[in-house]
Amino acid sequence: KNEVEQSPQNLTAQEGEFITINCSYSVGISALHWLQQHPGGGIVSLFMLSSGKKKHGRLIATINIQEKHSSLHITASHPRDSAVYICAVRQIGSSNTGKLIFGQGTTLQVKP
């Protein structure tokens, strides 16, 4: 079993829909990242959070440390949101290394 699991693996939505991508992890963490990757493109860091909730534009990320779970929400989705969304965690004890453990990614397609 992977240390970081994302669901769903693939998601198709209609433009305007509210989207939720989930991430569960099995290790103690000091931080969790949500990343975005367009096909053939680079990786953009959307959020880094260690507690609570963060909002940036139409994107909202939440984390529940006790339940070892995080969600990424996209409100009023748009075709340009189509991308792979990746959850990554920084494990406690990795503070000296900073290395991340990644989920497999969720491929989102938003249709017009």
Partner 1 sequence: NAGVMQNPRHLVRRRGQEARLRCSPMKGHSHVYWYRQLPEEGLKFMVYLQKENIIDESGMPKERFSAEFPKEGPSILRIQQVVRGDSAAYFCASSPGKVDYENYGYTFGSGTRLTVV
- The residues binding partner 1 (CB under 8 A) are 31, 33, 35, 40-45, 48-50, 86, 88, 96-105
Min dist. Cβ of residue 58 to partner 1 (A):
18
Min dist. Cβ of residue 62 to partner 1 (A):
16
Largest CA distance in the chain: 45
CB of 25 or CB of 33, closer to partner 1: 33
Q: What is the DSSP string of 51-112?
A: SEEEEETTEEEEEETTTTEEEEEESS--GGG-EEEEEEEEETT-TTT--EEE---EEEEEE-
CB of 41 or CB of 79, closer to partner 1: 41
CB of 14 or CB of 95, closer to partner 1: 95
Min dist. Cβ of residue 48 to partner 1 (A):
6
Question: For residues 92 and 28, is the Cβ–Cβ distance under 8 A?
Answer: yes
